[in-house]
Structure 1
């Protein structure tokens, strides 16, 4: 197997391994498959318990799957969704990993050819090991540089066109009403209703920016043309060099082996061999021209393939990704869900398979004849949600009592205790994580009276919103 073939096979193995690793660590179903096949049995021996009575195996399983369960609150979801809508990024997604892998394979395959060409030029007397090192180094440089340039060019092209379309809309609107193109910067942590009074194009540039450029597009075009032209020229010169060396060797061997050649003592006179030599020259010229045309056609096809590959990489940057400055963070918060109803449905669909894994883990506990307190995955979600709420809103510090004064202090006016901001939503998230109606009722009853009243009011308001939404949907 040649060096290039070995390198390509190794590349496929690396890419396949990267896809498997990505699937296991970044997709729910990949992680689920990995647990069912290997990891569930591996962690079943971790039966040491923490202070709260949870085993290390339960915490490991719950922690591995918790990141796939949508846990954002309703206000955060709506705010992030509004940001994506106003930034013009609603419906867009990050660059898929499979597409990154495909583009990477194409660029690496092209890089192998370029590196072989450049390696033989840089070190013409080098050994096979030298060529291998040069090829690896050049492939890495070409892939990283080309990948970054083309992706940046596609992203810049999308963002600049987005700003350009917004400017055209603003100019058409501004003819009737004098408005600023951009009023102020709007970040994701701000309420997205802050600029509801502005026109849509102004809301967009408040999140995307109002300055579009084509710098990276020009850099990408120059890079593509330079590599395509120079690589074709180098291939053509290498072909000419090889043809010249072959021609010289053929002529020399023919003169030596021909007993009637000009260099032979018994050689025929020039008047006799002139016509034959002329015919040989014409034939050699025809063969050379045909080989040159064939080589040029092949090199042009390679250049066209290279250009098309880079255009695909630029299109990937244009088609996927976001224009808003904080749209990636907003998309990460919403996890690509279209509505809050979908969030709740997916949450339920994801929880049930993990509950089955937790049941299987407890079954393995029983095989060891150990009496352990078992927990469900829903209980783990409720536990971590309450812990997050406690971390975000710690209890107020206890202020030491002041020394008694000589004059009696006036009686304090009683103030109703209010739940800290955000605590209500945290309790709602914990309730959503519980699937059993009895567990939810016990959870609400375990709260203090003031918090319980707020929770009940919030649940009633949610039911009213859902009922109103269904009525509106039925009208159209």
Structure 2
């Protein structure tokens, strides 16, 4: 753990950028429509190369049918795509609620923002944990800095892939629970002798707009009409099996790599200790060896060796050497064995923690988001409102806001087109049409668009 913290501290800029990117991604996922509307306004208002600047140059294209310029229609159509999604009435409330109820998903919600942030925080921890393990193995032969950056990239990609797989697995398991419920209801209906048809969806496609067309069908058929299932109407576990295999491979592989890194560190520490010992025991290099040879040549090798042996045996020198060396070796081996066992146990715990995090991601996927074809759209229509009054009040404000923004952008475009027309000098008829734009408003556009 200390090594991972040190690794993160060493790459503070990468960590900050990754955290910021994860939070931004979580916000974009949960507020996608708001982000898209902001981007539309940004692209229209951007100076020189924005859509208003480009569309305003087209003062020749004119729709004789509606008596509008094509550039004006293009702007209104872009904003109408957002207006249409909030153009809801009391009937829309009833249809969305009925669709979710028939799909068995009334009360479910999409993954909240704080859940996505928590998931991605765990992804960051996983990514740096993997990066610390993979550093040195990703790009063999490269510099240490390059290896670490490569490890961060590979680890981030691996962690994000795991988030996607676990979320997809959770959704598959949720869908399987609905399929099992359909089969159980169908079996019970058949056992009671009231079954009158095969287990298959209706030929007519059921959407939110025509959700009441199958209200006379049994509940399990209505639920089946809103799911995409195979021809046998059976649960499938393809994504689950793939995800579990991938999680197992990553967990075992990461544990194995951690084990190898620990073995390498222990071996490296021994080599460093031996080198230090050799350097300290022979500070003068070959000078002492030469002096020993000279002394042996002067006094005689045999006598000198015998005298040394006698003195060593007298004071127990050999026994001291023989007894101290095995003891030191034994202590070292015990310490290495302890470090090895402790490290391996830690790695097993980290592997189990990794598996638990993936199970948590699967759990979130099971309890959030939807399996029905249009269940997500139905929920976004309801916006979590329990009463029809709150529902209508919200959408009335949303329609008014989009209509005002669209009208403001249309007026900017018309003003810009008049300026360009004055500078270029077109015919009198075009000039008159450009100036007489009181009937070309976004509100007026809605009248013939609805037709």
Q: Above 0.5 in TM-score? A: yes
Structure 2 residue corresponding to 1:12, chosen from 15, 19, 25: 19
Which residue does 1:187 correspond to in 2? 205
Which residue does 1:257 correspond to in 2? 280
Matches within 5 A, 1:389-404: 389-390=450-451
> Secondary structure at the residue paired with 2:104?
coil
C-alpha distance 73-306 of structure 1, shift in aligned 2 (>3 A): same
C-alpha distance 148-22 of structure 1, shift in aligned 2 (>3 A): closer
Which stretch shows the higher mean deviation, 228-237 or 70-79? 70-79
Q: Aligned-pair RMSD on alpha carbons?
A: 4.7
C-alpha distance 105-258 of structure 1, shift in aligned 2 (>3 A): same
Q: CA-to-partner distance for each residue in 1:436-474, whole Å, 9 max, x for gaps?
A: xxxxxxxxxxxxxxxxxxxxxxxxxxxxxxxxxxxxxxx
- 2-structure distance, mates of 1:344, 1:113: 49
- Asked whether 1:67 is paired with 2:82, we answer yes
What is the aligned residue count? Answer: 383
Instruction: Indicate if the aligned counterparts of 1:87 and 1:207 stay in contact, CA closer than 8 A.
Output: yes
C-alpha distance 174-25 of structure 1, shift in aligned 2 (>3 A): closer
Instruction: Indicate if the aligned counterparts of 2:166 and 2:361 stay in contact, CA closer than 8 A.
Output: yes
- 1-structure distance, mates of 2:141, 2:386: 61
Matches within 5 A, 1:447-466: none
Structure 1 residue corresponding to 2:359, chosen from 311, 320, 325: 311
Which residue does 1:26 correspond to in 2? 33
Instruction: Indicate if the aligned counterparts of 2:171 and 2:371 stay in contact, CA closer than 8 A.
Output: yes
C-alpha distance 219-225 of structure 1, shift in aligned 2 (>3 A): same
Which residue does 1:148 correspond to in 2? 164
- 1-structure distance, mates of 2:148, 2:282: 46
- 2-structure distance, mates of 1:359, 1:198: 46
Which residue does 1:215 correspond to in 2? 238
Matches within 5 A, 1:428-439: none
* TM-score, scaled to structure 2: 0.66
- 1-structure distance, mates of 2:403, 2:171: 41
Structure 1 residue corresponding to 2:449, chosen from 362, 380, 388: 388
- The Cα of 1:356 is off from its aligned counterpart by 9.3
- Asked whether 1:288 is paired with 2:330, we answer no
C-alpha distance 66-156 of structure 1, shift in aligned 2 (>3 A): closer
Which residue does 2:416 correspond to in 1? none
C-alpha distance 252-330 of structure 1, shift in aligned 2 (>3 A): same
Which stretch shows the higher mean deviation, 287-296 or 155-164? 287-296
Q: What 5-or-longer segments of structure 1 have no aligned partner?
A: 365-369, 391-476
- 2-structure distance, mates of 1:303, 1:203: 44
- 2-structure distance, mates of 1:275, 1:4: 49
Q: CA-to-partner distance for each residue in 1:135-177, whole Å, 9 max, x for gaps?
A: 2541353134312321121111111112112322322232112
> Secondary structure at the residue paired with 2:134?
helix
- Greater relative contact order (CA < 8 Å, ≥ 6 in sequence): 2
Q: CA-to-partner distance for each residue in 1:63-94, whole Å, 9 max, x for gaps?
A: 76983772135445433432221111112233
Which residue does 1:325 correspond to in 2? 373
C-alpha distance 232-40 of structure 1, shift in aligned 2 (>3 A): closer
- The Cα of 1:241 is off from its aligned counterpart by 1.3
Instruction: Indicate if the aligned counterparts of 1:181 and 1:202 stay in contact, CA closer than 8 A.
Output: no
- The Cα of 1:305 is off from its aligned counterpart by 2.5
* TM-score, scaled to structure 1: 0.63
Instruction: Indicate if the aligned counterparts of 1:92 and 1:321 stay in contact, CA closer than 8 A.
Output: yes
Q: What 5-or-longer segments of structure 2 have no aligned partner?
A: 1-7, 293-307, 413-418, 420-434
C-alpha distance 124-271 of structure 1, shift in aligned 2 (>3 A): farther
C-alpha distance 76-346 of structure 1, shift in aligned 2 (>3 A): closer
- The Cα of 1:3 is off from its aligned counterpart by 4.9
C-alpha distance 292-181 of structure 1, shift in aligned 2 (>3 A): farther
Structure ID, larger Rg: 2
> Secondary structure at the residue paired with 1:89?
coil
Q: CA-to-partner distance for each residue in 1:177-229, whole Å, 9 max, x for gaps?
A: 24246242453347333333332223212322322112222222222222112
Instruction: Indicate if the aligned counterparts of 1:170 and 1:181 stay in contact, CA closer than 8 A.
Output: no
> Secondary structure at the residue paired with 2:226?
helix
> Secondary structure at the residue paired with 2:276?
helix
